[in-house]
Amino acid sequence: MPPPHPSHRWRRRLPSLAAIALAMLAAHAGAQEVVVLGGMHTNPPVPGEDDRSSAYAYGYQQNFAEHWYGTYTYLNEGHLGGHHRDGHSLQLWWRYLMLDRRLALSVGAGPYLSFDTTDPQPDGGHVNQHDVSLLASAAATWYVGGAWLLQARFNRTLFASGFQSNTLLLGVGYQLDRGDRPGPFLAPPTAYEAIAPNELDVMLGGSIINSFEHDTAFAGAVEYRRRLWRYVDATVTYLDEGSSAVLRRAGVATQGWITGTFLQNHLTLGVGLGPYYATSLINRGPDPDPSPSRWAGLLTLSASYRFNDHWAARLSWYRAMTGYNRDADVFVTGVGYRF
């Protein structure tokens, strides 16, 4: 029996990854930190002139206990050796605190859902390879004072297939909650202010096909969001990815969300996941699939800032995950009305 195609493997594994996300993010005791990191590869997979690439990451850290915390991380491994790979990871960490809790030395590991644009062809063709592997990390975090922190992080990806990589990153972070003493902060859940449960967003931006040509197009979205419980939302979205040289796609998606509120309930951060059905689909360009499926997955990161009881600004990043090598990133921003 031939080995399963990568697109079939990630479809089977994605529900398990989503379940882990729900379990980690729903554990709301403790406090939160956000980090932004930049750096480089230390072992490019294929020697060559184009294998010196930068890397970057951003993440969310959730404290569970004095020595335990969890993270969500988006890692972009850069462009090297015929590979443009990035991905999303959930990790569980253990840390040792020293120097009056100002220095934390940590190790963590967890699943890494990766997206690799690879196999460049002379005619511009490519493959969008999806996989789930392990991301193992070590970090040193220095709490410099106030709400700010500095972090150095080393990541090692461990794939059953595909190339392994090391990335070394340095960056800055901010504590969304903090206490009177230095270091990571542990506290009961913050007070929750009931807000209007419905939200209608209108957003505009652009789409980028995950290829070596990076075809772009104008894009837009209209989204209805309903708060189901304190940390759980659901959305129905009409997403128009526009028309590029290789793709014309628009459709409807439904997603379940884990969301958190911060800064006196003005800021929300969330991650959503669900099916995406293309009501309009024209697949063209080099090496097109003659009968692409209209079904895909949609993974979304979103942030909003509430100005008053009804109006908010929202920024969203949609990642369309296909089985016919037409993955795309859609970045949109706009205004939302809550009622």
- The DSSP call for residue 196 is -
Per-residue pLDDT tens for 232-284?
Answer: 999 999 999 999 989 999 999 999 999 988 888 889 999 999 999 999 999 98
Could you give the count of Cα atoms lying within 13 Å of 87 in the half-sphere of its Cβ? 30
pTM of the model: 0.85
Per-residue pLDDT tens for 79-129?
Answer: 777 788 899 999 999 999 999 999 999 999 999 999 998 887 776 678 898
The CATH T-level fold of domain 6-175 is Porin (2.40.160)
The answer to whether the 6-175 and 198-338 domains have the same CATH topology is yes
198-338: in CATH 2.40.160.20: yes
DSSP string, 226-253: EEEETTEEEEEEEEEEEE-SSEEEEEEE
Per-residue pLDDT tens for 159-191?
Answer: 877 778 899 999 999 998 777 788 888 866 555
Instruction: Give 3-state DSSP helix, strand, coil % of the chain, rounded to 5.
Output: 5, 60, 30
Contact 193, 265 (CB under 8 A): yes
Q: Where are the domains of the chain?
A: 6-175, 198-338
- The DSSP call for residue 120 is -
DSSP string, 18-86: HHHHHHHHH---S-EEEEEEEEEESS-SS-STT---EEEEEEEEEE-SSSEEEEEEEEEEEEETTEEEE
Q: Is 174 helix (H, G, I), strand (E, B) or coil?
A: strand
